[in-house]
Structure 1
């Protein structure tokens, strides 16, 4: 199966061998070697040239495994790869062709960059867990798509792979950095720093409370949204909240009453991997009016 490039089938057969006879170490090791050798041999010279820098940043086994965890996809000229505000759990590797990155600000398209072969897009939203903050439109391109689930499957065999990939992606400018150079803003409303507590409850598709909730510390607020800190034992638990509807109850240190409203989780950012501290950034389902904003912030200026 491996020699015919049916790698998932080969890996299932190897796992089956482990289940049936875990003491057959020689056969198990040889099966793993055959799979890895076939993976490396199946990558053409043109692909190795395109992704040479990435290959140099990883071990040969890590690169081969990562490469085959991706799914190739062709995008026609003008076809959208990702839209601003969209929830996608994928990382895009430009294999050939070009992709135009642009943002929409104050109703106008703002060109940011044209990316080409050997570049990666979407890493900010992929690793930070957020919606896309820019648009990506194909100019005729073949991309290799890596889902967060496929990357997570590599963890047991290659525990350092994700951190190495994050370090490699750091050499490219993020979409937020590209947008900041335009001196424009995507914010509709002024943010105010606040202190206090936020209690959230996850809602189901019908908008009913599920009983699953958490509490955290308020960070800032605007008429359009809110951010607050939460602690999660695992990153995947934090990532599971992206795009979910919640009901949030807000009580600041300066207000005399609490305020409750529904919101959508737009981003989750890690601030301390050791302490598992994250910040949740949510968008209110309905913008706060001036009276509601004053009720929330109380005496805060």
Structure 2
């Protein structure tokens, strides 16, 4: 329910001088009709005007939850029994009523490789293909169907979509937005992690990525020591005000990884898909910094405030230049220095 609708309900309650019993009756009526947003808003009003009436507050909450449970999609619950079986009644209702159902025709895109996606999909019935581009062609990475998940890697990680996904037949699914999942923190603490853990175990995109070697850079990566200074570029390509730096971890001709400190996950997530201009300074080569542009494809979270920033170069480093870098070269490769 929008803020305006909530304010309207509050005003109506004041104007009509509704008593706690009046609100309880209105809550029950709304819940029985399946108007759960209205029922929840009325219950919030009850809590505000009569916070000590715990018996009524609890009983109206139970009425709402009972009605939500009665109206759950039983076919959907049967498909996702392993997920809902690990949740409380309140958590099950919180998850189900946070999602949107859809019946999609064939050839509908769910996500696009290399783009940001803020949705997680649960397939009840139908067929979905995971695919990637190679040499100008779409290559199938995996076939998904009833009881499979789409989008877990980019939903629970700060990452661009590693694969595209599209329906291959009429498909019934439920989708969850990131904003809806983040809203659980206050009302359903712990639900996000339960869903995330389930998706990490049951999701198939990681397996598809590994099987097709899509987690590997197109060129070999090497450990390297130094500092990466980054400037986030604006849409017109000019340097912006957002600047940060961190210690280099590894580098290849096509990309690199460096470590940063960041106190807020929202700030780290805002870096995803940003184009940056990098100035690379190497511990073992006190020369002018190597300047190169790239796009942030993933921001990995570690412990505390530690993150790793993964960058794909707009243009790869020329092999002749790359061979001069002070990497930790394996025995089968040698630097040109």
| Superposition RMSD in Å | 2.5
Structure 2 unaligned segments of length 5 or more: list them: 1-29, 330-337
Shift of 1:132: 1.3
Query: Given the alignment of the two structures, is residue 259 of structure 1 paired with residue 296 of structure 2, yes or no?
Result: no
| TM-score of the two chains, using structure 1 as the length reference | 0.87
Once residues 126 and 136 of structure 1 are traced to their aligned partners in structure 2, the CA distance between those partners, rounded to angstroms, is 14
Q: Is this contact kept in 1: 2:272–2:296, CA < 8 A? A: yes
What is the total number of aligned residue pairs between the two structures? 298
Instruction: Tell me the SS of whatever aligns to 2:159.
Output: coil
Structure 2 Cα separation of the partners of residues 51 and 138 of structure 1: 20
Is residue 2:306 matched to residue 1:269?
Answer: no
Residue 245 of structure 1 deviates from its aligned partner by 2.5
Q: Distance in 2 between matches of 1:135 and 1:107?
A: 14
| Contact 1:105/1:186, CA 8 A, preserved across alignment | no
Q: How does 1:192-271 map to 2 (within 5 A)?
A: 192-256=222-286, 257-271=288-302
For 1:134 and 1:201, the matched residues in 2 are separated by 28
Deviations 1:110-165 (A, max 9, x none): 33332222221211121122111122120221221111111010011221111111
Contact 2:219 2:254 in 1 (8 A): yes
Once residues 139 and 126 of structure 2 are traced to their aligned partners in structure 1, the CA distance between those partners, rounded to angstroms, is: 21
Q: Structure 1 207/34 Cα, relative in aligned 2: closer, same or farther at 3 Å?
A: farther
Contact 2:229 2:245 in 1 (8 A): yes
> What is the CA-CA distance between 1:23 and the residue it aligns to?
4.3
Q: Is the 8 A contact 1:131 1:266 kept in 2?
A: yes
- 2:200, 2:140 → 1: CA distance? 21
* Residues 184 and 20 (structure 1), Cα distance of their counterparts in 2 relative to 1, 3 Å cut: closer
Q: Note closer, same or farther for the CA distance 1:131–1:120 as it changes in structure 2 (3 Å cut).
A: same
- Residue 93 of structure 1: CA displacement? 0.6
Distance 1:154 1:184 in 2: 33
Listed as ranges, the matches of 1:168-207 within 5 Å are 168-182=198-212, 187-207=217-237
How many angstroms apart in 1 are the aligned matches of 2:63 and 2:201? 34
Higher RCO (CA < 8 A, seq sep 6+): 1
Q: In the TM superposition, what are the counterparts of 1:97-116 in structure 2 within 5 Å?
A: 97-116=126-145
Correspondence for 1:15: 44
Would the aligned equivalents of 1:91 and 1:121 in 2 still touch at CA under 8 Å? yes
Larger radius of gyration, structure 1 or 2? 2
Displacement after TM superposition at 1:300 (Å): 5.2
CA distance in 2, matches of 1:94, 1:77: 14
Aligned 8 A contact 1:75 1:81 in 2: no
Deviations 1:11-60 (A, max 9, x none): 33433444555445444434433332222121032222122111112112
- SS across alignment from 1:155: helix
Q: Does 1:96 align with 2:125?
A: yes
Report which stretch shifted further, 255-264 or 78-87. Answer: 255-264
Question: In the TM superposition, what whole-angstrom CA distance separates every residue of 1:187-234 from its partner, at most 9, and x where no partner exists?
Answer: 332222211112223333333433233221111122222211122223
> Which residue pairs with 2:68 in the alignment?
39
